[in-house]
Chains A and B, each alone.
Chain A
Amino acid sequence: MKVRTQGVTVVLALALILALALIVRQGTSTGQSLPRDLQELVQARKLTPDQVRAALQTYVPPGQYDEYLMFSSGGQSGQVLVYGLPSMRLLRVIGVFAPEPWQGYGFSKETRQVLGEGETPEEALTWGDTHHPAISETNGEYDGQFLFINDKANARMAVVDLRDFATKQIVKNPNAASNHGAVVSPNTEYVLEATQYAAPFPFGYQPVTQESYNARFRGLATFWKFDRGRGRIDPAASFQIELPPYWQDLADFGKLESDGWVLMNSFNTERAIGGTLQKQPPMEIGASARDMDYLHIINWKKAAQLVAQGKGRVVNGMRVLPLQVAIDQGVLYFAPQPKSPHGNDVAPRGDYIVTAGKLDPNVTVYSFKKIQEAIKARAFSGKDPYGVPILAFDRVVAAQVKVGLGPLHTQFDDKGNAYTSIFLDSAVSKWTLGPPYKNAAEGWKLVDKISVQYNIGHLAAVMGDTVKPGGKYLVALNKWSVDQYRNIGPLFPQNLQLIDISGEKMKLLSNTPVGLAEPHLAQIIPMDRVKAWATYPQPGTNPLTMRPDPQAIKAGQARIVRRGNTVEVWMTAMRSHFTPDRIRVKKGDTVILHITNIERTKDAIHGFAIDRYNINLSLEPGKYETVTFRANKVGTFPFYCTEFCSALHLEMAGYLEVTP
Chain B
Amino acid sequence: MATGTLQGPVRFAHPARMPRRGRLPLLAAVLLLLLSLVFPYWQVTLYAPQYPEGLRARVYLTHVGGDAQEITTLNHYIGMPGLDVAAPLERRLAVPLVLLSAAALLLLAARRLPARRWLQLLLRLPVVLLPAVVLADLAYWLWWMGHTIDPTAPITIEPFMPTILGRGGVMQFSTSATFGVGFFLALAASVLSLYDFARGRARG
Which A residues have a C-beta under 8 Å from some C-beta of B? 574-575, 599-601, 604, 646-648, 651
Contact = CB atoms under 8 A, between A and B. Distances in A.
Interface in B9-39: none
B70 A600 contact: yes
A600 B69 contact: yes
B73 interface: yes
Interface in B73-101: 73, 77
A429 B67 CA distance: 54
Contacts of A648: 77, 154
Given A601-B73, A604-B70, A646-B77, 13 more contacts: A574-B73, A575-B73, A599-B73, A600-B69, A600-B70, A601-B67, A601-B69, A601-B70, A647-B77, A647-B154, A648-B77, A648-B154, A651-B154
Nearest to B72: A555
Contacts of B69: 600-601
B72 to A, nearest CB: 10
Contacts of A604: 70
6 contacts: A600-B69, A600-B70, A601-B69, A601-B73, A648-B77, A651-B154
Contacts of B77: 646-648
A648 B74 CA distance: 11
A647 B73 CA distance: 13
Nearest to A574: B73
Interface of B: 67, 69-70, 73, 77, 154
Nearest to B76: A575
Nearest to A647: B77
Say whether chain B's binding surface is mostly helix, strand, loop, or mixed: helix
Contacts of B154: 647-648, 651
B23 to A, nearest CB: 46
A23 B75 CA distance: 60
A200 to B, nearest CB: 58
B65 to A, nearest CB: 12
A142 B69 CA distance: 37
A535 to B, nearest CB: 11
Contacts of A646: 77
B39 to A, nearest CB: 22
B123 to A, nearest CB: 43
Contacts of A575: 73
B32 to A, nearest CB: 32
Nearest to A646: B77
Contacts of B70: 600-601, 604
A282 B69 CA distance: 68
A604 B67 CA distance: 13
A537 to B, nearest CB: 14
A651 B70 CA distance: 19
Name which of B67, B70, B73, B77 has the most chain A CB atoms within 10 A of its CB: B73
A575 B77 CA distance: 9
A604 to B, nearest CB: 8
Most buried by B among A599, A601, A604, A651: A601
A524 to B, nearest CB: 28
Nearest to B69: A600
A479 to B, nearest CB: 41
Contacts of A651: 154
Give the interface centre of A575, A604, A651 by most chain B CB atoms within 10 Å.
A575
Nearest to B50: A603
Contacts of A599: 73
A569 to B, nearest CB: 22
Contacts of A574: 73
A602 to B, nearest CB: 10
A574 B77 CA distance: 12
Nearest to A598: B69
Nearest to A63: B52
A647 B48 CA distance: 14
A601 B70 CA distance: 7
Contacts of B67: 601
Nearest to B52: A63
A604 B55 CA distance: 14
Those 4 A-B pairs whose CB atoms lie nearest each other, nearest first: A601-B70, A600-B69, A575-B73, A648-B154
B33 to A, nearest CB: 32
B37 to A, nearest CB: 24
Contacts of A601: 67, 69-70, 73
A65 to B, nearest CB: 14
A600 B77 CA distance: 17
Nearest to B67: A601
Contacts of A647: 77, 154
B73 to A, nearest CB: 6
A60 B154 CA distance: 39
B63 to A, nearest CB: 15
A648 B153 CA distance: 12
A575 B69 CA distance: 12
Contacts of B73: 574-575, 599, 601
Nearest to A603: B50
A573 to B, nearest CB: 12
